[in-house]
Amino acid sequence: MQKGFFITGTDTGVGKTIITAALIKAIKHLGLKACAMKPIETGCLKSKVKVQSLNFKDKDEVLLPSDGIFLKEIAGMDDSIDFIVPIRFKNPLAPLPASEREGIYVDFEKIKKAYRYLSKKYDAVVVEGIGGLFVPITRDYFVLDLAKDFGLPLIVVSRPGLGTINHTMLTINYAIKEGLHVAGIIINYSHKSKGTLAEDTNPEVIKQISPIPIIGIFPYLENLENDTIEKAAKNLDIEIIKKYLEICFLN
Ligand SMILES: Nc1ncnc2c1ncn2[C@@H]1O[C@H](COP(=O)(O)OP(=O)(O)O)[C@@H](O)[C@H]1O
Ligand SMILES: [Mg+2]
């Protein structure tokens, strides 16, 4: 039985990385060993030197995945970055166009091997997806298919403001239609609250019309640090998280 979550968003930049970090803190709080994985990261910066602390296995590798590095730090993982972010691209694009421009095919075997390693070592793996569900990885394989292959329950991160009802409902309803198990929605303030009527009323409306529960409303944090993220993770409904990790407690 696989344990963990697959994190997607209604869009890119909604806060998937921050919510992945918060979920890791929440799971650790339950006394479980949790880790992060970002199977594919694009927009990686080129570094002139090899960063020792990342334990790159490939000696020539100089592409730095910022989400993966942040998550490695927050999760306190001592593993090679090759397991956390097995596939890295330079161009800030969806994986399909990045892969075509760079002439590198996505090696799915590498992703599987990394996931196998992490899921054996840790009680739960929180996997950050790439953008939203319809982001292409190859011409006929999308983030949705990657989520299916991981077989983990899905968590949808969405924006708080105007427009989010439609984006959230499209994402969760499509995921359900495609047979994915959706655990819940997390509304994330990636910017300061604007105090709009939409922000105030959206959670209630989503609760009324969505078949999926809201796991929490994650606040805007001035400083995104270990402590502040850990503290804010208390805004997430631990009972829903626990329910999906139940198997760990039974073991
Ligand atoms: N709760 C939050 N508080 C403060 N800043 C946030 C919060 N969530 C996201 N951000 C900021 O918003 C930006 C996008 O968040 P990120 O987690 O990287 O999104 P994604 O992974 O979906 O692309 C980042 O600069 C991040 O620091
Ligand atoms: Mg991210």
* Nearest atom, ligand 1, residue 222 CA: 4
Cβ contact 23:5 at 8 Å: yes
Cα separations in angstroms, 151 against 5, 7, 38, 172, 178: 9, 12, 15, 16, 13
The backbone torsions φ and ψ at residue 71, rounded to the nearest 5 degrees and listed phi first, read: -70, -35
Q: Whose CA is nearest to atom 11 of ligand 1?
A: 190
Q: How many CA atoms lie within 13 A of 169 on its CB side?
A: 12
* Nearest atom, ligand 1, residue 157 CA: 22
- In order along the chain (251 residues), what is the average pLDDT of each group of 10 residues? 90 97 97 97 87 69 91 97 97 98 97 97 97 98 98 97 97 97 98 97 98 98 97 97 74 46
- Å from CA of 191 to ligand 1 middle: 8
CATH class of residue range 4-250: alpha beta
What is the predicted pLDDT for the residue at 203?
Answer: 97
The yes-or-no answer on residue 38 being catalytic is yes
The pTM of the full predicted model, rounded to 2 decimals, is: 0.95
What is the predicted pLDDT for the residue at 211?
Answer: 96
Q: Is 100 exposed, middle or buried (0-12, 13-18, 19+ CB in 10 A)?
A: middle
Report d(CA 190, CA 41) in Å as an integer: 20
Which tokens belong to 247?
């198997």
Q: Whose CA is nearest to atom 7 of ligand 1?
A: 190
Q: Is the dihedral of CA 222, 226, 227, 232 positive or negative?
A: positive
Catalytic residue among 38, 57, 59, 231: 38
Q: Whose CA is nearest to atom 17 of ligand 1?
A: 15
Pocket of ligand 1 (CB under 6 A): 9, 12-18, 188-190, 218, 220-221, 224
* Nearest atom, ligand 1, residue 14 CA: 22
**Residues facing residue 63 across a β-bridge:** 46
